[in-house]
Amino acid sequence: MTSFRDRYGPWAIVTGASSGIGDELAKRIAACGIHVVLVARRRDRLEALASELEKKHAIETRVVELDLGSEQACADLVEATKGLEIGLLVNNAGFGMKGEFLDLDVAEQRRMIAVNCRAPLELTHAFAPQMVARKRGGVIVVASAAAFQGLPGTAAYSATKAFEVLFAEGIREELRPFGVDVLALCPGPTDTEGPRRTGVDPDKVPVKMMHPGDVAQAGLDALGARAISIPGFVNKLAYFLVRLLPRAFVTRIAGKLIRSVGKSPA
Ligand SMILES: NC(=O)c1ccc[n+]([C@@H]2O[C@H](COP(=O)([O-])OP(=O)(O)OC[C@H]3O[C@@H](n4cnc5c(N)ncnc54)[C@H](OP(=O)(O)O)[C@@H]3O)[C@@H](O)[C@H]2O)c1
């Protein structure tokens, strides 16, 4: 049986490795003996993680401080990883915005589309060809359970995540004949900085938020086996209910839910 390292090494890129799910993905990938390129804006965090991983797993790391919302981000990452054999690309970096669509700043929503949609598209376009040529590799796109219905109260965010799921599903079929595995990892509520920054009060979330380590592990376990991974029993159940119930009804209920988990004004 081919090991994870043989299939997806020798180098992996993990975007958004400075916290949350990305940090956990990087730790688990490094534990398999794969060298990692750590990408995000907060260099100090990436450097701390890099030295931890090098000591613990005797692997190499490369830290790339990058704003994935910028126009030249993909070209900069290609340049920063020149000469490295990339076998795994993890498009994890992303952020959400909570609020009524018309109240949210349109420039910030455009930036969200750049980070959540344009970056995974451009990075996959840049790094998958070397995997295709070698006839092995993997691409993980960290989408969300928010992708499966319209979400009033965070409408544009859920739409970016729907893009990611459909993009991953489509290219999975295109790349499969070339030995390249693609996965859309679709977490439900997960206990990271992300939801807090967006204005979610964890105490008001009606389900237990998952640990980002469990989400990361579920994604790595599913890579190569499935098109979509939805970690957690309750999240899987919600996914099946969403598919069975009328869309307009689901959207209304989901909107009520998302609006109810906001922090109360101080
Ligand atoms: N937590 C949840 O409930 C949940 C649920 C479903 C899906 N997700 C998805 O999971 C992914 C990871 O989120 P998380 O929950 O782990 O949140 P997080 O802890 O806030 O992590 C987000 C990561 O993305 C990076 N990032 C954000 N904007 C960036 C930019 N412009 N350029 C480069 N890097 C950027 C951040 O790094 P810097 O700030 O250092 O740049 C950070 O490392 C996201 O795609 C999110 O949509 C999360």
Can you give the pLDDT of all 266 residues of the chain as single tens digits? 679 999 999 999 999 999 999 999 999 999 999 999 999 999 999 999 999 999 999 999 999 999 999 999 999 999 999 999 999 999 999 999 999 999 999 999 999 999 999 999 999 999 999 999 999 999 999 999 999 999 999 999 999 999 999 999 999 999 999 999 999 999 999 999 988 898 888 888 988 999 999 999 999 999 999 999 999 999 999 999 999 999 999 999 999 998 999 876 55
3-state helix, strand and coil shares in percent for the chain, rounded to the nearest 5: 55, 15, 30
Name the residue of 13, 14, 15, 18 to mutate for ligand 1: max ligand atoms within 8 A of Cβ: 18
How far apart are alpha carbons 29 and 10 in whole angstroms?
11
Give the nearest ligand 1 atom to 185 CA: 7
Task: Pick the closest to residue 253 from 180, 140, 151, 124 (CA basis).
Answer: 151
From the CA of 199, how far away is ligand 1's center (Å)? 14
From the CA of 184, how far away is ligand 1's center (Å)? 15
Instruction: Give the contacts of 57 (CB within 8 A, at least 6 positions apart).
Output: 30, 31, 33
- Are residues 74 and 48 in contact, defined by beta-carbon separation less than 8 angstroms? no
CA-derived radius of gyration, the chain: 18
Query: In terms of pTM, does the model score above 0.75?
Result: yes
Instruction: Give the contacts of 244 (CB within 8 A, at least 6 positions apart).
Output: none
How far apart are alpha carbons 215 and 30 in whole angstroms?
16
pLDDT for the residue numbered 125: 98
How far apart are alpha carbons 84 and 34 in whole angstroms?
12
**Domain definitions of the chain by residue range:** 4-260
The single residue of 11, 127, 148, 157 carrying the catalytic annotation is 157
Name the residue of 74, 95, 228 to mutate for ligand 1: max ligand atoms within 8 A of Cβ: 95
Ligand 1 pocket (Cβ < 6 Å) reads 16-22, 40-42, 66-69, 92-96, 115, 142, 144, 187, 189-190, 192-195, 212
From the CA of 260, how far away is ligand 1's center (Å)? 22
pLDDT for the residue numbered 1: 64
Instruction: Give the contacts of 234 (CB within 8 A, at least 6 positions apart).
Output: 188, 207
Structure tokens at 135: 């006839």
Structure-token match 């489509």, residue found: 170
pLDDT for the residue numbered 151: 95
Highest CATH level, class, for 4-260: alpha beta
Count helices and strands in the chain by DSSP H and E runs: 11, 7
From the CA of 76, how far away is ligand 1's center (Å)? 20
| Distance (Å) of CA 146 to CA 40, 159, 187, 222 | 23, 8, 8, 19
pLDDT for the residue numbered 227: 98
Report the Cα 198 to chain-centroid distance in Å: 16
pLDDT for the residue numbered 2: 78
Q: Clarify whether 239 is annotated catalytic.
A: no
- Are residues 91 and 140 in contact, defined by beta-carbon separation less than 8 angstroms? yes
